[in-house]
A and B are shown apart, each in its own frame.
Chain A
Amino acid sequence: MRERNTALLVGIVILAIVLIWIDWPDNPGIHIHWDFINIDKDIRVHQGLDLQGGLQVLLEADVPEGTEIDSEAIDTAKVIVENRVNGLGVTEPLVQKRGERRIIVELPGIEDPELAIATIQETGLLEFIDAGYTFLEPGTKVETDYLAGGEEGASTEAPAEVTPVETSTVEETPAGEGTPEAEPASTAEPALVVYHTVIAGAGLEDAGVTVIQDAGSTLPVVAFELKPEAASVFAEHTASHRGQYLAIVLDKAIVSCPVIEDAIPDGKGIIRGRFTPAEAQSLAVKLRYGALPVPLRIETTRTVGPTLGQDSVRKSITAGAIGLSIVFLFMLVYYRFPGLLADLALAIYALLNFAIYKFGLPPLFGYVTLTLPGIAGFLLSTGMAVDANILIFERMKEELRAGRSLGAAIEVGFSRAWTSIRDSNISTIITCAILFYFGSTFGASMVKGFALTLIIGVLTSMFTAVTVTRTFIRFTFDAFGDSLRDKRWLLGV
């Protein structure tokens, strides 16, 4: 009994040291590179969107109600969105599939939410169309003969199979002629022109931003390189259509409409529009990772300014700290010596929770993203941890008053209070599980954050408030039991 208790105490002390190391503000993380063992683990606080500001978007496949969606198409779309998001240079973005037709994207600390949304959501279908001898004003909407669905899953491979090539293109194809776009084309304006697509985005090898000098000022442009097959199509077309316009179209709208001045044999070129550097970057990102296989519609968005969250979190943390100090003080004053031990256990509880937020519980999860509701969940579970100790101490006092010896009162206090603690915590865990499920299904990430910290808190509190406190009390009773017996005021009786 005594040895077991000492072993537990040593274990708790070691745990506390590890926890303090994890919680240390400038923790360097774990980086082990030794032979075939490669471990890289950052240990730091991950703040949610509401704390550090940022953008959350819920995208839904934009197809008519009831239409079956190929689950592969959503998966492909998710990968493309992920690639685009990474191209934006955000730290720790989150892209997840929600259900069968939705994708949720979270971008912490993003500075230009509008541009980010455009980068993520726009289909990003690039086409070079044969405009013949007519100049097309940038921004004009056009119809092309490119099969919209033809690029499905072709984000990286499958070159320009679309272009049946051969130079003699019809300049003014009558509307609806053999195009899959026939449905809107035939019903809309009667004189609608369907242009021939020479090359589509799938034929691109790479795209990036560069600057050119134009009339004395620098102009950001998107430079692209075609795959070999597409490049040869491009070379043929440019050779045979000199002096004609080759319009660059993005999502069926004209970006620019340059004249073919000379044949381009190497498949390299630039797209110039009226871009800001950021817009050029956004376009290059979209081109590099290909077009989305299904159009995406924005269902919900949330943007939070960075200082809005910081202000709120600073205040709430101060408030929580004030509240907790009062709780610590209350326990000390009301329960005296056991209260002091409970405060110690509570400190370990706080360290343990914060360590789990930073370190996660591998392999279950890597870290917990802290949100404002998450902090509320933590504070609430702290209340429950305190409640467990109150239950135990009240019971101990009762037993002491009933005339039991100190040692017996301690043991009875713990064992009798345990059923209450266990049953009430189980009911909280049930509610948490439902909250967590609700939160993860509906993108209500704040509800999920609350449930997660509350459930972690409830589980850890069962350890700290019961096991840790009991070990402390048994140990001090063994060591100073005789002097405690005479000073009953120290026990709060």
Chain B
Amino acid sequence: MFDIIGKRYWYFLISALFIVPGLIAMAYSTVTYDAPVRLSIDFTGGSLMVIKFQQPATEDTIRDVFMSHGFTNPVVQQLGQPEDNTWQVRMGFADVETVDKIKASLADQIGPIDEASSSFSTVGPAVGSEVTRAATVAVVIASLLVGAFIIITFRRVPNAFRYGVCAISAMAHDLLVALGFISIMGLLFNWEVDALFLTAILTVIGFSVQDKIVVFDRIRENTPKRRGEPFETIVNRSILETLHRSLATQLNAMFVMIAILLFGGASIKQFIAVMLVGMVTATYSSIFNAVPVLVAWEKGEVGRFFRRILGRKTATV
């Protein structure tokens, strides 16, 4: 039988290799931009305009127009292909009248605007901070409820509590990878976290837990059937038995997501990219993190690990 569990510390190392760069990016981003990821106006408040001109424009001329209307630091970006002549500008809170004036100046100084292909959003600062708070609460409550649900469903298995904790920590692992990814993309390509991104994160949570439940379910089923076998072997067998399903499901989800990434509308591409990263990570962490941690815990390695850390601390003190 192929031994997955035996090499568990290698997998933990691979996870670390993916998480650490993300953590560094988040730390850097926190120092530079006050937030671990780039937050959109949904969370910070402010205004976002997407403008399609009928002729080419330059970043500087657009920025000048916004500056002349009193916006100190507008972020101007080109969207899509250069021949689309579509630009996105992010600025402080602007009311509808100001936007009207800006549009008039833009039309005046650059050229006519294609109104049908343009958009404008503005979010008040109060609403922004409320959304941030609610989003945090939503993610935390979702994780807790799902964790509680696992503990309840697996109550007949010895140490059901461990299953819940392992699923939640593997889920935290998936979240860290996804957040690290968006943080790096934010630093490199100005990707922003908006309300839609929250949806992607919660989907990753859902998928991640679903994946863990399938493997755990098999362990639950195999445990009473193979009383004589050591826990490690039962777990290894359960992973191998569910491997086909994991790969087939992951493959199908990837078909749809990659198709959208390649051919879909620009507005959901970032959303799908985050989801894809999160889902691949979720499948990885079910097989190579959640279950191996369960084994490590069973063999007392988790306790030893913490004791060693604590011991080292007391030694230095």
Are A427 and B206 touching (Cβ within 8 A)? yes
Which B residues lie within 8 Å of A334 (CB)? 248
Is the pair B142, A430 in contact by a Cβ cutoff of 8 Å?
Answer: yes
- Known interface pairs A300-B124, A431-B142; A424-B272 also in contact (CB < 8 Å): no
The residues in A between 106 and 163 inclusive whose CB is less than 8 angstroms from any CB of B are: 113-114, 117-118
Q: For chain B, what secondary structure do more than half of its interface residues adopt (helix, strand, loop), or is it mixed?
A: helix
Chain B binder among A256-264, A303-311, A483-491: A303-311
Q: A420 and B260 in contact (CB under 8 A), knowing A394-B245, A398-B241?
A: no
Q: How far is the CA of A314 from the CA of B264 in the complex (A)?
A: 8
CA A306 to CA B118, docked complex, whole Å:
8
Q: Which residues of B contact A306 (CB under 8 A)?
A: 116
A311 touches B265 (CB 8 A): yes
Determine which of B120, B202, B217, B252 lies in contact with A301 in the assembled complex, contact meaning CB atoms within 8 Å: B120
CA–CA, A87 to B265, complex, Å? 34
Q: Are B210 and A424 in contact (CB under 8 A)?
A: yes
Closest chain-B Cβ to A469's Cβ sits at a distance in Å of 15
What does the 1/0 interface line of A47-67 toward B look like (CB < 8 Å)? 000100100001010000000
Contact B257 A323, beta carbon cutoff 8 Å: yes
Contact A320 B248 (CB under 8 A): no
Picked from B119, B124, B272, the residue with its CB within 8 Å of the CB of A308 is B119
Which of A38-46, A73-81, A165-173, A435-443 is the contact stretch?
A435-443
* B165: interface (CB < 8 Å): no
| Contact across chains for A303 and B119 when beta carbons are under 8 A apart | yes
A390 touches B245 (CB 8 A): yes
A330 sits at the interface (CB 8 A): yes
CB contacts (< 8 Å) of A300 on chain B: these are 121-124, 127
- Within 8 Å of chain B (Cβ to Cβ): is A192? no
Q: What string of 1s and 0s marks CB contacts (under 8 Å) between A302-329 and chain B?
A: 1111111001111110111011101100
A223 within 8 A of B: no
Q: Which residues of A contact B (CB under 8 A)?
A: 50, 53, 58, 60, 113-114, 117-118, 298-308, 311-316, 318-320, 322-324, 326-327, 330-331, 334, 372-373, 376, 379-380, 382-384, 386-387, 390-391, 394, 398, 416, 419-420, 423-428, 430-432, 434-435, 437-438, 441-444, 446-447, 450-451, 454
Chain A residues in 8 Å Cβ range of B262: 319
Instruction: Point out the residue from A308, A387, A451 that lies within 8 Å of B249, measured CB to CB.
Output: A387
One of B100, B138, B252, B265 near A312 (C-beta < 8 A): B265
CB of A315 within 8 A of CB of B265, answer yes
Q: Are A384 and B268 in contact (CB under 8 A)?
A: no
Contact (Cβ within 8 A) A324 B256: yes
List chain A residues, Cβ under 8 A from B259: 319-320, 322-323, 326
A303 pairs with B120, CB closer than 8 A: yes
Contact assessment for A330 and B100 in the assembled complex, using a CB-CB cutoff below 8 Å: no
A304 to B52 CA separation, bound complex (whole angstroms): 12
Q: A398 to B238, alpha carbons, bound, how many Å?
A: 12
| Contact call B120/A302, Cβ cutoff below 8 A | yes
Cβ-defined contact, A450 with B199, below 8 A: yes
Residue in chain B with minimal CB distance to A301: B122
Inter-subunit contact B119/A319 (CB<8 Å): no
- Is B202 in contact with A390, judged by CB distance below 8 angstroms? no
Contact with A along B35-61 (1 / 0, CB 8 A): 000000010000000101000000000
Chain A nearest CB from B218 CB (Å) reads: 8
Determine the residue in chain B with the shortest Cβ distance to A99. B130
Contacts of B263 in A (CB 8 A): 315, 318-319, 322
Is B107 an interface residue, CB under 8 A from the partner?
A: no
A434 touches B145 (CB 8 A): yes
Interface residues on B, range: 35 or more
* Count of chain A to chain B residue pairs whose CB atoms are closer than 8 Å in the complex: 215
The one of B116, B142, B275 in contact with A434, judged by C-beta atoms closer than 8 angstroms, is B142
Cα distance, A58 to B251, chains bound together (Å): 41
A303-B121 in contact given A320-B259, A427-B206 (Cβ < 8 Å): yes
- A-contact 0/1 string along B82-105, CB 8 Å cutoff: 000000000000011101100000
A298 to B194, CA, bound (A): 20
Q: With an 8 A cutoff between CB atoms, is B68 at the interface?
A: no
A437, B258: Cα distance in complex, Å: 30
Q: How far is the CA of A1 from the CA of B126 in the complex (A)?
A: 61
Say yes or no for B198: interface residue by CB 8 A criterion: yes
Q: Given A315-B263, A319-B259, does the pair A383, B206 have CB atoms closer than 8 Å?
A: no
B266 within 8 A of A: yes
Instruction: Say if the beta carbon of B296 comes within 8 Å of chain A.
Output: no
User: Chain A: which residue is nearest B259 at the CB level?
Assistant: A323
User: Contact check: which of A314, A373, A383, A423 meets B196 at CB < 8 Å?
Assistant: A373
In whole Å, how far is B6's beta carbon from the nearest beta carbon of chain A?
24
Contacts A53-B116, A383-B249, A426-B149 given; does A444 touch B131 at CB 8 Å: yes
Docked pose: A383 CA to B258 CA in angstroms: 13
Collect the chain B residues with CB atoms within 8 Å of residue A307's CB.
114, 116-117
Q: CB-CB < 8 A to B120: which residues of A? A: 113, 301-303
Q: Please, how many angstroms separate the alpha-carbon atoms of A224 and B206 in the complex? A: 59
A316 touches B264 (CB 8 A): yes
CB of A463 to closest CB in B, whole Å: 18
- Asked whether B134 is an interface residue with its Cβ less than 8 Å from the other chain, the reply is yes
- Known contacts being A312-B267, A372-B265, is A380 close to B124, with CB within 8 Å? no
A323 contacts which of B116, B117, B131, B256 (Cβ < 8 Å)? B256
A-B CB proximity, top 5 nearest: A312-B265, A323-B259, A323-B256, A424-B210, A319-B263
Q: Which residues of A contact B150 (CB under 8 A)?
A: 427
Known contacts A323-B258, A446-B199; A372/B268 CB under 8 A: yes
